[in-house]
Amino acid sequence: MQFGVLLPQFGALARGADVTQRIRTVAQTAERLGYDVLWTAEHIIFPPTITTPYPYGDRFPYPTTDPILDIVATLSYVAAITSRITLGSSVLVLPYRNPIVLAKELASLDVLSNGRLLLGVAAGWLKEEFDMLGVPFQERGRRTDEYVRLLRALWTQERVTFHGSCFDLSDAAFFPKPVQRPHPPIWIGGGSPAALRRVARLGDGWIAVPRPTLDDLARDIAEIRRRCDDAGRDPMRLGIASGGGASSIDDLLDRLPRLERIGVTVTSVPVLFWARSFDHALDLLEEFAQRAHLPSR
C-alpha cells in the first residue's frame, strides 16, 4: 500500500506570503518521510452563494474566499523541489479545461518531473461554477469522457487523429509526449453511479469520495470491479485512493488492514484536516510515518 498527503494549496493555509514555504515544507517532509503521493485540489471560481447541493455532506465545507492555487502551477513548483514523490491531482475538474491546452501543460509537467504525474479528474458538481466558466453543466459527463480519450490520444499517438463531438483532429502533431508510457495514469474521481461506470470504462484508478462506512466503500469497489470485468478490463490493475473516513492517526492505523483487503492501493492521510495548526500537521505527518513504518529517506 502507498500513502498520500494533501498539499496546503487551498484553504486558510494557502493564505499569505508564507504559502510557498508551507508547500515546500510539506512536500519535502513527505518525501523525506517516505510518503508516495502529494495531492492537490481544485475549484476555479465561486458564486456569491452556492445553491447547488453539495454531494459529499450537508454544505460546502470551506470559505469560498480562501485561496485555491492552480493545480498545474503548484505541481510544477513542487516538481522542482522534490525528486521522487508522485505529483497528484485530487481532482482536476476536466470539463472546465481546454483538453488540448491541458494535455500540453500536463505533458510538460511529466517531462519536467521525470515522469511523476498522476492525473486525477472528475466531471464536477458545482453548477454555478460551470455557468461562470461558460461550460454547459448538462454536458459535463459527455465532455469528461471525450476529454479523457483525447488526452490519451494526444499523449500516445505519434500523429494524432481523433474525432469527437467537441474536438476533431486529423494527423496533428502534438509534442512533447509524456515521459511515462503509455501515458501518465488517469484516475477518475466521484461517487455517483455515472462516475463509477466511468472509472470502469476509462480509468486507471478511482479517487474515492467520502463514504459513511468502509462497507459502503467496499461495495463501491466491488461494483467498479464487476463493471471492469463486464468491459473486458482487468479489475486488479485498477488503483484505488481513499482516506477510509478516518478521524485520527489511531483510527486510520486500525482501518489499514481492512482498507488493504477491500482493494485500496493509496491511503490518503488527512493530517491537514486533523491538525490544530500547521506545526501540528507536520508533527502528525511524522508520527504517522513512524507508526506506519514508512521507508524514510
Amino acid at 111: V
pLDDT of residue 57: 85
pLDDT digit of tens for each residue in the chain (297 aa)?
Answer: 999 999 999 999 999 999 999 999 999 999 999 999 999 999 999 999 999 999 988 889 889 999 999 999 999 999 999 999 999 999 999 999 999 999 999 999 999 999 999 999 999 999 999 999 999 999 999 999 999 999 999 999 999 999 999 999 999 999 999 999 999 999 999 999 999 999 999 999 999 999 999 999 999 999 999 999 999 999 999 999 999 999 999 999 999 999 999 999 999 999 999 999 999 999 999 999 999 999 987
235 Cβ partners below 8 Å, 6+ apart? 224, 225, 226, 228, 229
Q: Report the b/e string of 281-293 with b at 16+ CB within 10 A.
A: bbebbbebbeebe
* Domains and their CATH numbers in the chain: 2-291 (3.20.20.30)
Report pLDDT for 297.
78
3-state secondary structure of 115: coil
pLDDT at 172: 98
Whats the size of the chain, residue-wise?
297
| 8 Å CB contact between 139 and 62 | no
What 3-state class would DSSP assign to 83?
coil
Sequence-distant (≥ 6) Cβ neighbours of residue 188 within 8 angstroms: 120, 121, 122, 148, 195, 198, 199, 202, 203, 205, 206, 207
The angle that helices 193-202 and 214-230 make with each other, rounded to 10 degrees, is: 50
pTM for this predicted structure? 0.97
CA distances from 242 to 115, 130, 250, 264, 283 (A): 23, 26, 16, 7, 22
Q: How far is residue 42's CA from residue 4's CA, in Å, rounded to a whole number? A: 17
Q: What is the pLDDT, as a whole number, of residue 250?
A: 98
State how far the Cα of 157 lies from the Cα of 103, in Å rounded to an integer.
13
